[in-house]
Every structure is written in C-alpha cells, then in structure tokens.
Amino acid sequence: MITKKIYLYFPKSETEKPIVYQLVKDFDLIVNIFRAKVTPEEEGYLSLEVTGTQDNIDRAFAFLGGFDVVIHAGNKSVRWDEERCGQCGACVVHCPTQALSIVDRETRTIAFCEENCVECLACIAACPYGACSSAF
Amino acid sequence: MIKTYAEINKKIESGKAVVLTAEEVIDYVDKRGLEAAAKEVDVVTTATFGPMCSSGCFLNFGHSTPKMRISEAWINDVSAYCGIAAVDVYLGATQLRQNDPANMYHPGEFRYGGGHVIEDLVAGKKLQLFGLSYGTDDYPRREIRTLFDINDLNQAIMVNPRNCYQNYNVAVNASDKRIYTYLGILKARMRNMTYCSAGQLSPLLNDPLYETIGIGTSIWLAGARGMVYAQGTQHCSLVERGENDVPVEGSGTLALTGNMKEMLPEFVRGTSFKGYGVSLALGVGIPIPILNPEILRRTTVRDRDIIACAVDYSEDYPQKTGKVLARYNYEQLRSGEVELNGKKVPVTSLSSYNKALKICGLLKAEIEEGRFLLSEPSQRLPLNQGMKSLNITGPAR
C-alpha cells in the first residue's frame, strides 16, 4: 500500500461528476480529503491523499486523466515560498501540526515540511511576508 | 582609550582588521579574557531584521514635458505625500492602498501598501505613477500616468525616523477573544506570546549607553551604506536598566537613512499584519568599534542577560496602564516556551534572528575586505531623556 498526495482542479464542465466516489468504489482507494471547494456550475478544487496498491493508484490516475481535470500529483495546495519567508517564526505557534517549524535552533531557520501539512491555512493569516499561499 | 577610529580604519583599509559578529564575540572574550581580546578585536558587528513601521522614502521623479507640480500622487495606487517640492514625493511604509477596506471587514488582510511599494522599488519592478495637479503658469501639466522603476528616479532615499528599538515589549492577550496587533495574531487567554528583538545581536543592546552609536555613525542599511541621522522618534533613554545598563523596555531608537538604489531586495520586505495594517521589514547592520575593553565587554551581552516585559495587548497596552505581567530574558523567550501564571505559553518572534545573523556576517565580510569604514559620531544620543504623553486639552467640540 502506498499513499499519494494530489490536488485536482475541476473546470466548470466536470464539477457535477462524483469522481471521489469512483476512486473509492472502483479503485479501492482510502481517501483522506484535506480541503474541497467543488460547487456545481463553478470551477472547483479538491486536495486529498489517496492510499492503495500501486496498481490501483496507477489505474485511478489513468481514470482521472480521462476527465478534463488537472492533476497536481505529489503536491499539497498549500505552498511555502522559501524566498519570501522572512525567517521570523511568527507562523510556528499557529501551525497545529509542526509543518512549519524551527529546524535549526542555532540559526533559527524556519522550514516547511509538506508531509505534516493538513492545509488548515492558519499560516496564511499569520505570515506577515505572504510566504504561505493556497491554490484555492 | 586603547584604540581610535582612525587606527581601526587604517587596519580595515589594509585588510587586517579583526572583526567578529555579536554572537562570535561572546565565546571569544570568554576564552581570551577581556583585556587581551580588547587588544585583538577591532570591530563587532550587530544587526537586526524586523518590521519597522516608521519607514518611508523620498523619491524624485524628474520633470515631464510640460512640467508639473505634482500635488497628489499614487504609486501602484498607494498615496504618496506631495506637500514638498514639485516632483518630490514621500511614500510611507504604513500607507494603505487606495480603497483598501482596512478593518471594515475585521480582521482586514492589508495585502498591499507602502511597504510593498518600497519592496517593489528596491526589487527593480515597474510601478505606476498617477499624479494630479492644480496647474500653475510655470508648471502647467495637470495630470500624469506613467510606468517607472527605481532606475528612472533621480533619487530614492529611504528614511526611518524610528528604527532599531533598543528593546521591546513581549505581547500577550489576556482577553477571551483573539486579537490582531502589530506583534502578530495573539490567541485568547494567553495561549501565545510574541516578541520582536534580535536580542544579543541587536545594535543598541550591544551599546546600551550609546558610546559608539550616535548621530553620524555609518551603518549597513539593507546592503546600502547608510547612516544614523538623528535620535529616533520616541528615543527615551531614561528608563529602568539592569546592572549591565541594558534597558528592560523600549528605550533608545535611531533615525536612519540610506540610498535605496544600493539596497538588496532580500532585506527590504513589505509586510501585512492581519487586522492591523501594512509595514516594512528591514535589515540593519551596525558596526561597533572596540575602542576600549569596556565597549568590548558590553558587546558580550547574552540573551540571558537581556530582560523584556510581557504586556497584555488586549487591555494594558491600549489603555496605557503601565502594568507588566511578567519579565523574561531572551534566552527563555528564544527557547519557544515560557511560564505565565503557572501555565506554559508558546513564544514566537517577529524579528528574524536568522536574517540578523546573516547581516552580521555580511557586514563582517565587508569590513574584513576593507569595503566598509567606520565613522565617529558627530553627536551622541541623549542619555537622560524621557518621553511625553499626549494630553488632551482645550474645549470639547
């Protein structure tokens, strides 16, 4: 069993299709949705983690490829821009999962660990430098 | 006195000066002893990087044809002050963008403002100038709209009337709802604390009695060769100090200036404080000449020897009660957790120790390579100066 993070962009034409249902039913995937914003007649976004066999995940990706959906594999829809980061640490106390943390106490270096991010978006409000952003 | 500015500068010019950062000097003096180290060390570099709201810049646009006496101006929709000569404007870091809803929908986001315009200028981006005028015989043009970048300007001079606060409050929120401040988001019921100082790296904490940092001191302002041009606004040196003369509250400030055309974009950054407003984060480095052992001793100040006061920003700060909830040293604050009323409270900083450390290193390299000479201040900063409050007087209207 492997786990993959993906986030999907649905154009207006695809927002009424029950894609997640099919991921579970047809490909036997465990689906953990971080965030979703899918409204009929509007474009939508879905950020999730899928767990299953390599074979099933490959088949599921091929299935998704059959729709007019943009697949961002391996990425979360929250981004941390190292260049923009002011290295202050204001975010650290607001991040509930230590995805943003001080990785080197000597030099007080801040870094982002995507694995730990649950996309709560608290960092976006807390960061004065606009280093954290969301795809949706 | 064992060394003079001239002697130190001579060593710098010949590439032989011994320069240490404010962090390195602590262990160095521990190992070598104060007297021996004072003979060896020529300069200690100090630095800070954090939001400095009292920032802005004077820009000169040059004249269009026909000429115009700009009386109202907006740069990327951020209003700039024009009550000065024809094509000079002053842009302030905390100025909001035109039509920003501010805190109309609380808490406001304040995504772009004066600080961001200054960042974009230094980064060399194209910006839009929109200007209006009432028109005069000698300056007939009434309106202008054009794109420009920093290279098109005759001058772009940064001024920080209040910078390098010697020490600062630690903010906490004792109320039962979240508050939004210039020290960041403070969770209800004292669930987090924020401070804003580079501690043992900070310029005025390494020179607590302003023995070497004064009016005329050459500084590193975001990479440019700048200077201290005056005492900073709210400079208030007459405050409680520890045995090491280091103040336990705000205290001294510096007014700084420098040429924006020489600045590095990494150290000039617009900031947005949710629910509060926009500001500018700026990197400053100040060299301290080691003229005698006493000056060196003061640069060995450690985080654990510097005390700051925790203040409730939901009540005591806005209402000016003067109440202090607790005192901590910067070693405790930097550990990321302190105790308040028997509860553990997480602590974070708005000032970047990481960037300050980097600036200490950059300034050290410039001095070692003979590219940065020290200057003797022409005036000292006042040592026994208090601060006035604004009393509301006159008939009620």
**Percent of chain A whose predicted confidence (pLDDT) is above 90:** 54
Domain co-membership, A39 together with A99: no
The CATH number that applies at residue A130 is 3.30.70.20
Count of CB atoms within 10 A of residue B198's CB?
Answer: 29
Domain ranges of chain B: 5-53+158-368, 56-157
Q: Taking residues A50-79, what's their average pLDDT? A: 88
Contact B123, B86 (CB under 8 A): no
Q: For helices A19-27 and A54-65, give the axis angle rounded to 10 degrees.
A: 150
pLDDT greater than 90 at residue B2? no
Count of CB atoms within 10 A of residue B222's CB?
Answer: 26
Nearest-by-Cβ selection for A88 from B334, B347, B351: B351
Q: What does the pLDDT look like over B26-75, one tens digit per residue?
A: 999 999 999 999 999 999 999 999 999 999 999 999 999 999 999 999 99
Domain co-membership, A88 together with A68: no
Domain co-membership, A94 together with A63: no
pLDDT greater than 80 at residue A15? no
Domain co-membership, A9 together with A63: yes
Q: What is the largest CA-CA distance in chain B?
A: 72
Of the residues A26, A57, A73, the one at which a domain ends: A73
Q: Within an 8 Å CB–CB cutoff, is residue B24 touching chain A? A: no
Q: Within an 8 Å CB–CB cutoff, is residue A102 touching chain B? A: yes
Task: Compute the nearest-CA separation of B191 from chain A (Å).
Answer: 9
Contact A117, A99 (CB under 8 A): yes
User: Are the Cβ atoms of B357 and A108 closer than 8 angstroms?
Assistant: yes
Domain co-membership, A87 together with A46: no
Q: What is the pLDDT of residue A14?
A: 78
Domain co-membership, A7 together with A62: yes
Task: Compute the nearest-CA separation of A123 from chain B (Å).
Answer: 11
* Mean pLDDT over each residue of chain A, to the nearest integer: 90
What gap in Å lies between CA B200 and CA B206, rounded to an integer? Answer: 7
Q: Taking residues B16-28, what's their average pLDDT? A: 98
More confident residue, B88 or A22: B88
Residue at B186: amino acid letter:
L
Looking at beta carbons, which residues of chain B come within 8 Å of A95? none
User: Are the Cβ atoms of B353 and A108 closer than 8 angstroms?
Assistant: yes
User: Are the Cβ atoms of B49 and A86 closer than 8 angstroms?
Assistant: yes
Domain that holds residue A41: 2-73
Q: What is the pLDDT of residue A16?
A: 77
User: Are the Cβ atoms of A87 and B279 closer than 8 angstroms?
Assistant: no
Q: Which of A13-27, B1-15, B75-89 has the lowest mean pLDDT?
A: A13-27
Q: What is the pLDDT of residue A69?
A: 84
User: Are the Cβ atoms of A128 and B272 closer than 8 angstroms?
Assistant: yes
The CATH number that applies at residue A48 is 3.30.70.260
User: Are the Cβ atoms of A107 and B350 closer than 8 angstroms?
Assistant: no
Helix (H, G, I), strand (E, B) or coil at B118: helix
Q: What is the pLDDT of residue A17?
A: 79
Domain co-membership, A50 together with A17: yes
pLDDT band (50, 70, 90) for residue A77: confident
Looking at beta carbons, which residues of chain B come within 8 Å of A87? 49, 352, 354-355
Of the residues A51, A73, A95, the one at which a domain ends: A73
Nearest-by-Cβ selection for B355 from A87, A91, A128: A87
pLDDT greater than 70 at residue B1? no
User: What total number of domains does chain A contain?
Assistant: 2
Give me the interface pTM, i.e. the ipTM.
0.92
Q: Taking residues B76-99, what's their average pLDDT? A: 97
Contact B193, B346 (CB under 8 A): yes
Task: Compute the nearest-CA separation of A42 from chain B (Å).
Answer: 25
User: Are the Cβ atoms of B281 and A109 closer than 8 angstroms?
Assistant: no
Q: What is the pLDDT of residue B228?
A: 98
Domain co-membership, A39 together with A19: yes
Q: What is the pLDDT of residue A111?
A: 96
- CB < 8 Å from A in window 198-257 of B: none
Q: What is the pLDDT of residue A109?
A: 96
User: Are the Cβ atoms of A89 and B50 closer than 8 angstroms?
Assistant: no
Buried b (16+ CB within 10 A) or exposed e, A79-97: ebeeeebbbbbbbbbbbee
What gap in Å lies between CA B114 and CA B117, rounded to an integer? Answer: 5
Q: What does the pLDDT look like over B295-351, one tens digit per residue?
A: 999 999 999 999 999 999 999 999 999 999 999 999 999 999 999 999 999 999 999
* Mean pLDDT over each residue of chain B, to the nearest integer: 97
pLDDT greater than 80 at residue B397? no
Q: Taking residues A103-130, what's their average pLDDT? A: 94
Q: How far is CA B65 from the centre of its chain?
A: 38
User: Are the Cβ atoms of B271 and A128 closer than 8 angstroms?
Assistant: yes
- Closest Cα partner for B249 from B302, B170, B164? B170
Q: Taking residues A61-81, what's their average pLDDT? A: 85
Q: Taking residues B252-273, what's their average pLDDT? A: 98
Q: Which of A2-16, A54-68, B29-43 has the lowest mean pLDDT?
A: A2-16
Helix (H, G, I), strand (E, B) or coil at A47: strand
Q: What is the pLDDT of residue A135?
A: 87
Looking at beta carbons, which residues of chain B come within 8 Å of A110? 354
More confident residue, B274 or A1: B274
* Residue A98 falls in which region: left (phi positive, over 0), alpha (psi -120 to 50) or beta: left
Residue at B101: amino acid letter:
P
Structure-token pair, residue B101: 């809803």
pLDDT greater than 90 at residue A133? yes
Q: What does the pLDDT look like over B149-170, one tens digit per residue?
A: 999 999 999 999 999 999 999 9
User: Are the Cβ atoms of B352 and A87 closer than 8 angstroms?
Assistant: yes
